Amino acid sequence: MAKQADLEKLTTLTRPHRDMINVMPLQTGSILTEAARRVLVEFGDGYSICDFCQGRLVDIANPPVRQFVNEMLPEFLGADVATLTYGARDGVFMVMHSLTKPGDVVVVDGNRHYSTAVAAERAGTELVVVPNSGYPEYTVDAEGFADVLRERRASLVILTYPDGRFGNLVDAERVGEIAQTVGVPYLVNGAYSVGRMPVHMKELSADFLVGSGHKSMASAGPSGVLGMRDKWQEVVLRRSALHKTKEIECLGCTVRGVTLATLMASFPTVVERVTHWEEQVSKAQWFSEAMESLGFTQLGEKPHRHDIMVFETPALFEISQRVRERGFYLYKEMESRGIWGLKPGQTKALEMSTFAATQEQLTQVVDAFQSILEKYR
Ligand SMILES: *Cc1c(COP(=O)(O)O)cnc(C)c1O
């Protein structure tokens, strides 16, 4: 058995960086709203959402899960039908697993998330990649999907929109037209878009749209959403023969507690915030230019159209070669300036997000980099 002192540590966990300026791509879209913070305690107990469940999570009337899932989510996603998942990866897997057989081909962009590749391994499908353009923009041309689909018979097309490293936005509507022309179902992975920017499944000619609650919808996690066209309901949401109320693909139930409560409590704010996406893009572009004026290089599309970006920072790497802390000096210097979210140890290339920071805070971030460069000159 563990030592008493070690056990006690578990009861007094704290999170030291919670109130700092946060630029960590994973975290900026999931900072809870005040409403979500309140329901966090209200629904903290396990299975707390299930008081009035009659066998199906998505049919619970109080709290209004049914209305949320059957009315609000489909409208928000531009879908006919929506359901709840544990996260973006689960949505991708559910669709892949129910639409393909082992050995089938799934066509995917060259900037796909690792979880898409792992989903393919689990489902036994072969990923065929539409390559990116390589350094420095790493863009994926929508027409590349047509080339691949001409050569390979595919069961599913998946587009990462945007990808999680460069924040590049492929012409998703064009990919949808191409997929529709060859009659292959099309899934848009919106882990970094649904809840940040307007995304409408049908306007992209997509069959599926996946979102992540704990990445972009101001929710605790794991939680996610999956929108689809009507015709896929009987495939992806098919029921168990043994337990007629339960769906097979999600093993009968999904986010049955506090994660769903926070997803719902933040939803009005999320619906509202996507209408301010232009302001987010302006902030991101301002930040990219300011970082480049310090001598860093933004990789990915320029001008940039998303808050996720990555910078090449050779001057910061060069410093790491001659200081005692090696690469760790950078995150310590930033932390001491009230800025959180750089990966400890990393100095060569920095992945950042401008979504949660105000313009003033972004100025502070740029000033921090400048003062670090000067300090170690
Ligand atoms: C973060 C991310 C995921 C995984 O999201 P989860 O909700 O944690 O499963 C999947 N795809 C992309 C593109 C991502 O950026």
Ligand 1 atom with the shortest distance to the CA of 192:
15
Structural tokens at position 331: 């995150």
Q: Give start-end residues of each CATH 3.40.640.10 domain in the chain.
A: 34-273
User: What is the DSSP track for 163-200?
Assistant: -TTT-----HHHHHHHHHHHT--EEEE-TTTBTTB---
Structural tokens at position 34: 């005040």
Element (H, E) at 226: strand 224-228
Question: What CATH class does 17-28+276-375 carry?
Answer: alpha beta
CATH topology of domain 34-273: Aspartate Aminotransferase; domain 2 (3.40.640)
Q: Give start-end residues of each CATH 3.90.1150.10 domain in the chain.
A: 17-28+276-375
**Which mutation among 95, 114, 215 tests ligand 1's pocket best, with the greatest number of atoms within 8 A of CB?**
215
The answer to whether the beta carbons of residues 270 and 217 sit under 8 Å apart is yes
Distance in Å from the first CA to the final CA of the chain: 51
Dist. CA 347–CA 349, nearest whole Å: 6
Give yes or no for residue 208 having a pLDDT over 90.
yes
Q: What per-residue confidence (pLDDT) applies to 336?
A: 96
Q: Average per-residue pLDDT in the chain?
A: 97
Question: Does residue 288's CB lie within 6 angstroms of at least one atom of ligand 1?
Answer: no
Structural tokens at position 229: 């066209």
Dist. CA 98–CA 305, nearest whole Å: 33
Dist. CA 88–CA 159, nearest whole Å: 13
Ligand 1 atom with the shortest distance to the CA of 224:
7
100-158 pLDDT, tens digit per residue, is: 999 999 999 999 999 999 999 999 999 999 999 999 999 999 999 999 999 999 999 99
210-258 pLDDT, tens digit per residue, is: 999 999 999 999 999 999 999 999 999 999 999 999 999 999 999 999 9
Question: Does residue 160's CB lie within 6 angstroms of at least one atom of ligand 1?
Answer: yes
40-67 pLDDT, tens digit per residue, is: 999 999 999 999 999 999 999 999 999 9
